[in-house]
Amino acid sequence: MHKIPVTVVTGFLGAGKTTLIRHLLQNNQGRRIAVLVNEFGEVGIDGELLKSCQVCDAETNTATTSASILELANGCLCCTVQEEFLPTMQELLKRKDDIDCILIETSGLALPKPLVQAFRWPEIRTGATVDGVITVVDGEALAQGHLVGDLEALEQQRQADDSLEHETPIEELFEDQLACADLVLLTKGDRLDSDSHHRVHQWLTKELPEGVRIVPCQQGQISADILLGFNAAVEDDLDSRPSHHDHEDDHEHDDTINSVHLVLDEAVEPKQLIERLEAIAQAHEIYRIKGFAAVPQKPMRMVVQGVGKRFDTFFDRPWQVDEPRRTQLVFIGKALDAKALATALRE
């Protein structure tokens, strides 16, 4: 029986997963693609970004039998999964004759292996298979020692102690994402000098399973022929993809990691907003900030994305006539206090 090939796109927060998928939708080469966005926060920020890409005409989008599945203007599908993975997959499998492949964008805090294991479930196994796992890695962050700490110091520690235990679940997550990969996309390499790029590439090569290639990727611009068609049947190959949590009966994420969703009804000046967000990021242990902002005298919505000290903004689309013009932000971090963040954002 024909199985739908599924590509899992994993990677740390802000590495560029959504940008990659948007580019693939815009350059699908006639493929009918279903995209599942596994959103961590309380609002589907990444899902909104995907639906606002050029191939998705809001006036022609139609809902299917599942309210979480939207049909895009180019014949592709976009789904907000959250905790409804099984029922959403079952809805997609009912339409398997209309789908060429499925992309799943994991949350930046999701372990890839448990997701792949779900494809062993009888309700899914007969209709879909994991074609490959793509791990997106922020090259600039690695070069600056972000997310995983100082690369050279970490490498020395690992060489000196094979039984090294990681101090944070973030480091374990990063290693699990690399260990499960069929291909690694190295983003933001254009921001590095040749020595830094070489150092990051060399370090990643040592961390990856033998045969896993590292491919540079700027602004998500990479051919679908590179991303699709691994035929890896990953769900049957998990023994060769070790995880820190393979021998744990019930692994749970660090319960101090949480997300806070804040809404400002008033418009905000971009420079002032970024200054406040930078101050908030320095005062709290925040892994990611993302969302939309309403800017005075601007008819378009401004997208805000922040990781560490780096903040990017761009205008993605006009505000809809019946859409409230307000600022919505999601903060993802450790032990975040919603009241404290709201106060700092409004100061």
CA 277 to chain centre: 21
Are residues 10 and 112 in contact, defined by beta-carbon separation less than 8 angstroms? Answer: yes
pTM over 0.75: no
Q: Amino acid identity, residue 37?
A: V
Are residues 81 and 91 in contact, defined by beta-carbon separation less than 8 angstroms? Answer: no
Are residues 270 and 314 in contact, defined by beta-carbon separation less than 8 angstroms? Answer: no
Q: Which residues of 120-158 are buried (b: 16+ CB within 10 A; e: fewer)?
A: eeeebeebbbbbbbbbbbbbbbbbbebbbeebeebeeee
Decide: residue 285, CB within 10 A, 0-12 exposed, 13-18 middle, 19+ buried: exposed
Residue reference for tokens 């990051």: 200
Strands (E), the chain: 4-11, 33-37, 62-63, 69-71, 77-80, 101-105, 128-138, 183-187, 213-217, 257-264, 286-293, 300-307, 310-318, 327-334
CA 43, 141, 136, 191 torsion-angle sign: positive
Number of neighbouring beta carbons within 10 Å of residue 255 = 7
Q: What pLDDT does 253 receive?
A: 44
- Establish how many alpha carbons lie within 13 A of residue 91's alpha carbon, considering only the half-sphere containing its beta carbon: 22
Q: What CATH superfamily is the domain 257-346?
A: CobW-like, C-terminal domain (3.30.1220.10)
Nearest to 86 by CA among 49, 142, 124, 141: 124
Q: What pLDDT does 6 receive?
A: 95
**Which parts of the chain have pLDDT scores under 50?**
40, 42, 57-67, 82-83, 148-158, 160-168, 249-253
Q: What pLDDT does 44 receive?
A: 58
Q: What pLDDT does 76 receive?
A: 65
What gap in Å lies between CA 63 and CA 332, rounded to an integer? 30
Q: What pLDDT does 72 receive?
A: 61
Q: Hey, where are the domains in the chain?
A: 4-240, 257-346
Output DSSP code: residue 97: G
Q: What pLDDT does 325 receive?
A: 92
Give the H/E segment covering residue 178. helix 169-179
CA 211 to chain centre: 24
And the tokens for 145? 């020692």
What long-range pairs does 114-119 form, CB within 8 A, spacing at least 24? 115/8, 115/38, 115/85, 116/8, 116/180, 116/234, 116/235, 116/238, 117/235, 117/238, 118/85, 118/86, 119/6, 119/234, 119/235
At the topology level of CATH, where does 4-240 sit?
Answer: Rossmann fold (3.40.50)
Q: What pLDDT does 300 receive?
A: 94
What gap in Å lies between CA 182 and CA 230, rounded to an integer? 8
Q: What pLDDT does 71 receive?
A: 61
pLDDT digits (tens, 9 = 90+) for 144-189: 876 543 344 434 444 543 433 434 356 788 888 999 999 999 998 8
Q: What pLDDT does 75 receive?
A: 60
Q: What pLDDT does 326 receive?
A: 92
What gap in Å lies between CA 37 and CA 18, rounded to an integer? 9
pLDDT digits (tens, 9 = 90+) for 51-65: 666 555 443 344 333
